[in-house]
Amino acid sequence: MRETRLTLPELALIAGTRGALGAGVALLVADRLSAEQRRSVGWTLFLVGAISTVPLAIEVFGKRDGCGER
């Protein structure tokens, strides 16, 4: 099993991007805003969450501890 160690700020960034992604998807399907507003805000949050996930994922997977591998 591989072990990955994260700092608290890294964990907060990951949680924040997941939250933005989820909020974007929720707004895309919600009925609180007009269709145009909902689409605009939803896609913006979704894209910010998705795009900011890429460098975080690269950093996290790059930090993997090679326990047990030779």
Per-residue pLDDT of the chain (70 residues; tens, 9 = 90+): 677 777 888 888 888 888 888 887 887 777 777 888 878 888 888 888 788 888 877 877 776 655 544 4
Alpha helix ranges (H) inside the chain? 8-29, 35-62
Q: Which residue, chain included where needed, has tokens 């689409």?
A: 39
* pLDDT value at residue 68: 47
* pLDDT value at residue 39: 83
> On the CB side of 61, how many CA atoms lie within 13 Å of its CA?
6
* pLDDT value at residue 60: 75
Distance CA 30, CA 44 (A): 15
Q: How far is CA 19 from CA 11, 60, 65, in A?
A: 12, 18, 27
Amino acid 31 reads D
